[in-house]
DNA sequence: AATCCGTCCAACCGCGGCACG
DNA sequence: TCGTGCCGCGGTTGGACGGAT
């Protein structure tokens, strides 16, 4: 698309909008090679491209920059990081993106908004039992997944919560780090209705440039769903499942952990293999990423009865934060 | 096969902050 | 100190795509 813009001298300049052509990309890349990722507006003033400086910068940052994970879905760990950091920083997507190697603020923003829509839809369905159990079709993405379920929304972090976290974090993380060896603590907010679930959320995150070795074992706090703090009525399926949670081997998929640890505030070390996606490469580019694990997260929650999460409270609107 | 519907994502827009003259 | 231009960020939009009916 070409748009005409009048200049100070009254001349009309063509400004190109819309999808980028390969030739334009090439010009932009050459410019960055020569001058670095700056002076975006000079690209147009030099007549190299009929794009605004803004548009050039955006194209570079979101698509052309090296080491981007283009076309690669957010991994489980990335999702968790986004959820935690959104709770901590709010909608500071650029800041959040600095903690995610290869991700742009646009990626994070898009991921978050689509996730919010998905959760809103799920909550709407669960709020209207007739529809939640109706035969209205669900797309494959809508079926209860690990992403959809307890990670309902990042709660507002109040200053008192932050103080609490900062006061507890050192003892929690350092002692656990010592005990756990390679285990690292990762932030995670209280993800669901605290009346229903309870767990501690004390972690440390490392920004992009200091990102730790991925070989270390992850330790994820797991909500205590063994002792609901309010009377709940579940379907027979759900009751059966909840009974199954008391089976000490139920959580074996999360790796070595003693069943008694799974009470209040338990933290589950998750096997790296459980989280690590299997990636397919073509010419060093990731073309496919999936969890090729017999007990992958999605499959794990797919087994939950559909009414398991009907008791989760609706999200407060951001204005209520 | 056609259509509908939901999701994803690239790109644009508007605004605020900052540097510089 | 003020005005201007540039850059970066967050919000929004619209097209492409894929799954379900």
- The nucleotide lying nearest A95 (C-alpha to C1') is C9
Based on the fold, state whether residues A241 and A314 are members of the same structural domain.
yes
Domain ranges, residue A11: 2-64
Based on the fold, state whether residues A158 and A13 are members of the same structural domain.
no
- The nucleotide lying nearest A139 (C-alpha to C1') is C19
Give the three-class secondary structure for A47. Answer: coil
State whether the beta carbon of A59 lies below 7 angstroms from any atom of strand B: yes
Query: Is residue A306 one of the residues assigned to a domain?
Result: yes
- Mean pLDDT, chain A, rounded, equals 52
- Exposure of A138 in the CB half-sphere (CA atoms within 13 A): 16
In whole angstroms, how far apart are CA A127 and each of A66, A131, A151, A304?
Answer: 44, 8, 17, 18
Which residue(s) pair with A218 in the sheet?
Answer: A184, A270
Per-residue pLDDT at A283 = 36
Per-residue pLDDT at A29 = 86
- The nucleotide lying nearest A98 (C-alpha to C1') is C9
pLDDT digits (tens, 9 = 90+) for A115-130: 887 777 777 666 554 4
Task: DSSP letter for A135, please.
Answer: -
Measured CA A154 to C1' B12 distance, in angstroms: 28
Q: How confident is the model at residue A4 (pLDDT cuts 50, 70, 90)?
A: low
State whether the beta carbon of A55 lies below 7 angstroms from any atom of strand B: yes
Based on the fold, state whether residues A101 and A228 are members of the same structural domain.
yes
State whether the beta carbon of A139 lies below 7 angstroms from any atom of strand B: yes
A31, A64, A97 — which closes off a domain? A64
In whole angstroms, how far apart are CA A60 and each of A33, A142, A148?
Answer: 12, 33, 32
Based on the fold, state whether residues A56 and A190 are members of the same structural domain.
no
Query: Is residue A70 one of the residues assigned to a domain?
Result: no
Per-residue pLDDT at A93 = 87
Share of chain A above pLDDT 90, in %: 0
Per-residue pLDDT at A11 = 52
Per-residue pLDDT at A65 = 82
Per-residue pLDDT at A128 = 54
Query: Is residue A71 one of the residues assigned to a domain?
Result: no
Mean pLDDT for A70-98 is 83
- The nucleotide lying nearest A115 (C-alpha to C1') is B7
- How far apart CA A117 and CA A164 sit, in angstroms, is 31
Query: Is residue A12 one of the residues assigned to a domain?
Result: yes
Per-residue pLDDT at A272 = 33
Looking at the predicted structure, is the pLDDT value of residue A28 above 70?
yes
Per DSSP, the residues of A171-206 read: HHHHHHHHHHTT-EE------S-TTT-B--------
Per-residue pLDDT at A1 = 63
- Covered bases, chain C (protein CB within 7 Å): 5-13, 18-21
Could you tell me the CATH number of the domain that includes residue A16?
Answer: 1.10.10.60
Measured CA A24 to C1' B9 distance, in angstroms: 20
- How far apart CA A255 and CA A264 sit, in angstroms, is 18
Lowest mean pLDDT among A21-25, A61-65, A175-179, A199-203: A175-179
Residue scoring higher pLDDT (A290 or A67): A67
Range among A10-14, A111-115, A193-197, A317-321 rated most confident: A111-115
Per-residue pLDDT at A80 = 84
State whether the beta carbon of A62 lies below 7 angstroms from any atom of strand B: yes
Mean pLDDT for A286-295 is 34
Encoded tokens for A257: 């952990």
Per DSSP, the residues of A248-306 read: TTGGGGG-S--GGGGSTT-EEEEPHHHHPPEEEEETTEEEEEE---TT-HHHHHHTS-G
Lowest mean pLDDT among A128-132, A138-142, A166-170: A166-170
Residue scoring higher pLDDT (A17 or A290): A17
Based on the fold, state whether residues A296 and A239 are members of the same structural domain.
yes
Query: Is residue A59 one of the residues assigned to a domain?
Result: yes
Per-residue pLDDT at A95 = 84
- Tell me if A133 sits within 8 A of A306, measured CB to CB: yes
Q: Which of residues 107-166 of A touch strand C (CB under 7 A)?
A: 109-110, 113, 135, 137, 139-140
State whether the beta carbon of A65 lies below 7 angstroms from any atom of strand C: no
- Tell me if A221 sits within 8 A of A265, measured CB to CB: yes
Lowest mean pLDDT among A200-204, A224-228, A273-277, A310-314: A224-228
State whether the beta carbon of A319 lies below 7 angstroms from any atom of strand B: no
Number of domains, chain A: 2
pLDDT digits (tens, 9 = 90+) for A31-41: 888 888 888 88
Query: Is residue A290 one of the residues assigned to a domain?
Result: yes
Looking at the predicted structure, is the pLDDT value of residue A46 above 60?
yes
Based on the fold, state whether residues A171 and A213 are members of the same structural domain.
yes
């Amino acid at each position: 698309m070409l748009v005409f813009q009048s200049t100070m001298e009254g001349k009309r300049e063509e400004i190109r909008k819309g999808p980028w052509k390969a030739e334009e990309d090439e010009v932009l890349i050459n410019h960055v090679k020569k001058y670095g990722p700056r002076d975006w507006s000079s690209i147009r003033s030099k007549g190299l491209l009929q794009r605004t400086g803004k548009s050039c910068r955006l194209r570079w940052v979101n698509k052309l920059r090296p080491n981007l994970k283009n076309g690669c879905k957010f991994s489980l760990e990335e999702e968790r990081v986004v959820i935690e950091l959104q709770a901590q920083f709010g909608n500071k997507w650029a800041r959040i993106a600095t903690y995610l190697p290869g991700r742009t603020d646009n990626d994070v923003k898009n991921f978050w908004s689509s996730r919010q829509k998905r959760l809103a839809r799920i909550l709407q369905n669960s709020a209207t039992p007739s529809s939640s159990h109706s035969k209205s079709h669900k797309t494959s993405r809508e079926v209860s997944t690990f992403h959809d379920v307890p990670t309902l929304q990042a709660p507002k972090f109040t200053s008192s919560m932050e103080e609490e976290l900062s006061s507890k974090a050192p003892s929690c993380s350092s002692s656990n780090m010592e005990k756990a060896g390679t285990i690292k603590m990762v932030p995670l907010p209280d993800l669901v209705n605290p009346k229903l679930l309870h767990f501690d959320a004390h972690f440390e995150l490392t920004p992009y440039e200091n990102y730790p070795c991925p070989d270390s074992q992850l330790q994820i706090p797991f909500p205590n769903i063994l002792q609901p703090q309010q009377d709940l009525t579940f379907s027979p399926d759900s009751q059966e499942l909840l009974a199954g949670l008391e089976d000490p081997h139920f959580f074996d998929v999360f790796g070595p952990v003693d069943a008694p640890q799974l009470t209040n505030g338990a933290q589950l070390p998750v096997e790296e293999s459980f989280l690590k996606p299997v990636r397919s490469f073509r010419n060093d580019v990731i073309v496919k990423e999936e969890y090729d694990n017999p007990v992958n997260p999605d499959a794990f929650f797919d087994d939950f009865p559909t009414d398991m999460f009907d008791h989760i409270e609706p999200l407060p609107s951001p204005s209520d934060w």
